Amino acid sequence: MTDYTLAHYQEACDAIEKLAQARPKIGLILGSGLGDLAELMVDAVRIPYDQIPHFPRSGAPSHAGILHVGTLFGQPAVIMQGRVHMYEGYDPQQVTFPVRVMKMLGIESLLITNAAGGINEAYVVGDLMVIDDHIDLAGMTGLDPTRGGHVPEMGPRFTPLNQAYHRDYIQKVQQLAVARGLTLHKGVYSFLVGPSFESPAEIRMLRQMGVDAVGMSTVPEVIVARNAGIKVLAISAITNVAIDDPDAEAITTEEEVWENVKQIIPRLKALVEDFMTDFKD
């Protein structure tokens, strides 16, 4: 476990502020395939993660590892193009380090996207789901990102996790989806570290627990954001239907996930654009 102090966050923040003067209001952590939204940012200062002290390096495919500070759809924003995952070997404190740095930069809101396997039997590949709540199986086994040395400047010792997903943002994005004629489910996301996909028995267990979609990211960042008083909107792209039958012929593969992400991206981008354009606070 990495025990960061305030000085670590401050050093990263100072390095960014030296290069980029803008003060972002919204942070975006863009998951698989959505990174090119960053190209739409104007007046952007683009900083590779390896130029930011203590920032984790992104190693996953299609996760570029560039921080963009500028204006996106009219809003002062900071975009993480590429995130790191616990399945790469990072601990939850490293995965969430950038969230606290973005808080220091000034963000009050955080928009997160991810790819997820659909567990709810009503979901099909290509659907979108706004996250309403989560089940943090990793956190329950001791991998809570706020565990360890407490940095009081960053947030309280104990984090309330009701309303971790900002209720007004959920409502807003649901309205935007209706206006666009897009299907947007609202559901419970479960975080598992991975990188193995879930076994069929695990999928059936998750379904019984009330989980609608499962993935390998997002929840650590949401917990740290909530701890820091940041308002979160998180949207999952359902890239595959989780397999719940050990006799099924189909198997879940990374290729399937990437292939299906591509067809979802235009709709997810449209929702992000609408949300940003209409953003108040």
Binding site for ligand HPA (CB under 6 A): 115-117, 197-198, 214-216, 239-240, 242, 252, 257
Is the CB of 136 or the CB of 198 nearer to ligand HPA? 198
Is the CB of 37 or the CB of 242 nearer to ligand HPA? 242
Smallest separation (angstroms) from ligand HPA to the CB of 242: 5
Chain residue at closest Cβ approach to ligand HPA: 117
Smallest separation (angstroms) from ligand HPA to the CB of 202: 10
Please state the three-class secondary structure of the chain as a single string: CCCCCHHHHHHHHHHHHHHCCCCCCEEEEECCCCHHHHHHCEEEEEEEHHHCCCCCCCCCCCCCCEEEEEEECCEEEEEEECCCCHHHCCCHHHHHHHHHHHHHHCCCEEEEEEEEEECCCCCCCCCEEEEEEEEEHHHHCCCCCCCCCCCHHHCCCCCCCCCCECHHHHHHHHHHHHHHCCCEEEEEEEECCCCCCCCHHHHHHHHHCCCCEEECCCHHHHHHHHHCCCEEEEEEEEEEECCCCCCCCCCCCHHHHHHHHHHHHHHHHHHHHHHHHCCCC
Is the CB of 216 or the CB of 235 nearer to ligand HPA? 216
Smallest separation (angstroms) from ligand HPA to the CB of 93: 22
Smallest separation (angstroms) from ligand HPA to the CB of 257: 5
Is the CB of 233 or the CB of 264 nearer to ligand HPA? 264
Smallest separation (angstroms) from ligand HPA to the CB of 27: 22
Is the CB of 13 or the CB of 135 nearer to ligand HPA? 135
